[in-house]
Structure 1
Amino acid sequence: MQLVDQFPKNGDIIKDRYKIIRTISQGKNRMIFCAIDLQMQLIAIKMENDSDGHAFICVESAILKILDKSNHIPQFFSYGSYKNYKFMAYELLGPNMIDLVNYKKPYKFSLHSVLKFGIQAIETLQIIHNQDFIHRDIKPGNFLIGNTQGTFGTFYLIGFELCKKLNKKDGKITTPTNKAKFRGSLLYASLNAHNLVELGRNDDLISLLYILVEFHNEILPWSDVDELVKNLDFERILSWTQASQMASQTIP
């Protein structure tokens, strides 16, 4: 039986508090549900298999606790265990930026919308970076809009499972000497990520820059990355990423 088949079903109740209503998204080892708690409030529940004892959701919930009540960060409610899974309950949000940009042609945003999103996204990264965290997975699918009338124009950042604390010594940032593993999304990863260099705050900003260019121009110079990966043409991906000035020159 596959792991996804063992996840809760619609109508199941988690910890005598959260009733599953529907599935929002699912992957091999994790699922996100829309649920309702005892206070009759709609929430989101992210659940991850913990069979190997290394659930990323542990990291994500700890970071959301620290960032709780911050602007552009979903409100954190609780964290716990359910059968062989770890789960996190947090504020239910609306669609992500991929859903929004693909809603209708021409599959790109106006300059006004790009700037509105960009300003809020920079504010969000500033909040995270001021807490000495690096997100390391900045991509359109991790930015969502609010789910209420009062928050529908507000953007929120999720996906903190790859987030990391900055290395500091005596209050100063130190640069690790060991080679890092690749982190992030191939399409939006910075040159440092492709070169397996430990990521910093600037890499979050570079990934955001790529998103803004794509939202305005509809495409990045390396947007056929999936086909390149299929053919294992990593050198071509890297060469195009090195030419990221091509993208920045197209910004109005």
Structure 2
Amino acid sequence: MTKETAIQDESNPKTTQIPKNEEKSFANKEVLPKMKKIEGDEPSHLQLSEKFLKRWSIEGLIGKGGYGEIYLAVDIVKGEEVAIKVEPKKRRGKLAKRMILEQHVMFKMQGKPHVPLMYGSGYTDKINYMIMQILSINVGDMKKSNPNKRLSQCSVGRIIHQSITALRDLHDVGYVHRDVKPANMCFGIYPSSRHTLILLDFGLVRRYKMENGEWREQRARAGFRGTTRYVSIRVHRRCEQAPYDDMVSVMYTAYELLSGELPWKYLEKSEEVLQLKEAMVIF
């Protein structure tokens, strides 16, 4: 059983389209994500050279995490490269909901300049999937590839400015991201989009205000969501996250990109990271 939802509509003026004269060529293939080796004994949701849904040829694995995998694929109808993100339909015996929420939020955000363009989404018997535009390596990897392991003030300024704009769009529709960091920021790969930052991974979003503008009632103690290195002090203290906390993560991102690393990079315990963050704001 397969269900697919196509959301790209060429008649919809809000949908970002790749210019036709750019469809067949990249501005710079060096910015494409590097293929990752698939170990023989590792289970893989999609197989190399597989024709997924008889439409997309799987070229390689470009991302892998605890929640799923991201593949580089080619649309055999249009000859365009795309990214396919998949997750198992069930996790620990329960229906996986992370990508379902991510699909919902990204659908609401289509037409905004700093969100990936989605070509379709759906599920099969075993996986949930999203088919999206292919993007560059992430900002964190860009920093690592730089000889001095940091980015210029000008580059960081542009990244942060666009990150704030991207988060404003997300906050406007009522959600907080909860995992803002360099690894979740990329750029387009075509001449028209190579200077446009794209915010990724909406799997940890949470609605903080309702459609009528009223804020949700805050929990007395929220679960920890995010990446320890970049979360705010409030998140360490298990406070309910709000747009403020996304902005703090942007600040830590800027610090890391400018200086090369955060002061707590080599600390392993969350409590130690919290103590150092608190020390930095005591005057």
Q: TM-score, normalised by structure 2?
A: 0.79
After the TM superposition, which residues 111-122 of structure 1 pair with which residues of structure 2 at under 5 Å, given as runs?
Answer: 111-122=153-164
Kindly state the Cα deviation for residue 47 of structure 1 after the two structures are TM-superposed.
0.5
The CA distance in 1 between the partners of 2:278 and 2:41, in whole Å, is: 39
Specify the alignment match of 1:16 in structure 2: 54
Higher RCO (CA-CA < 8 Å; seq separation 6+): 2
Specify the alignment match of 2:273 in structure 1: 237
Specify the alignment match of 2:32 in structure 1: none
The CA distance in 1 between the partners of 2:280 and 2:89, in whole Å, is: 39
Are the aligned partners of 2:224 and 2:238 in contact in 1 as well (CA < 8 Å)?
yes
Percent identity between matched residues is: 24
Kindly state the Cα deviation for residue 213 of structure 1 after the two structures are TM-superposed.
0.9
The CA distance in 1 between the partners of 2:98 and 2:216, in whole Å, is: 25
Specify the alignment match of 1:50 in structure 2: 89
The CA distance in 2 between the partners of 1:163 and 1:76, in whole Å, is: 18
Matched, 1:198 2:234: no
Matched, 1:68 2:106: no
Q: SS where residue 243 of structure 1 aligns?
A: helix
Specify the alignment match of 2:138 in structure 1: 96
The CA distance in 1 between the partners of 2:104 and 2:211, in whole Å, is: 22
**Ranges in structure 1 where 5+ consecutive residues have no aligned partner:** none
The CA distance in 2 between the partners of 1:244 and 1:57, in whole Å, is: 36
User: What do the CA deviations read for 1:78-115 (whole angstroms, capped 9, x no partner)?
Assistant: 11123411111011111101110011221011111111
**Could you say what the CA RMSD is over the residues aligned between the two structures, in angstroms?**
2.0
Seen in structure 2, the aligned counterparts of structure 1 residues 172 and 214 have a Cα distance that, compared at 3 Å, is same
Matched, 1:27 2:60: no
Structure having the higher helix fraction is: 1
Q: SS where residue 80 of structure 1 aligns?
A: strand
Q: 77, 80, 83: which one pairs with 1:41?
A: 80
Deviating 4+ runs (over 4 angstroms): none
Q: TM-score, normalised by structure 1?
A: 0.89
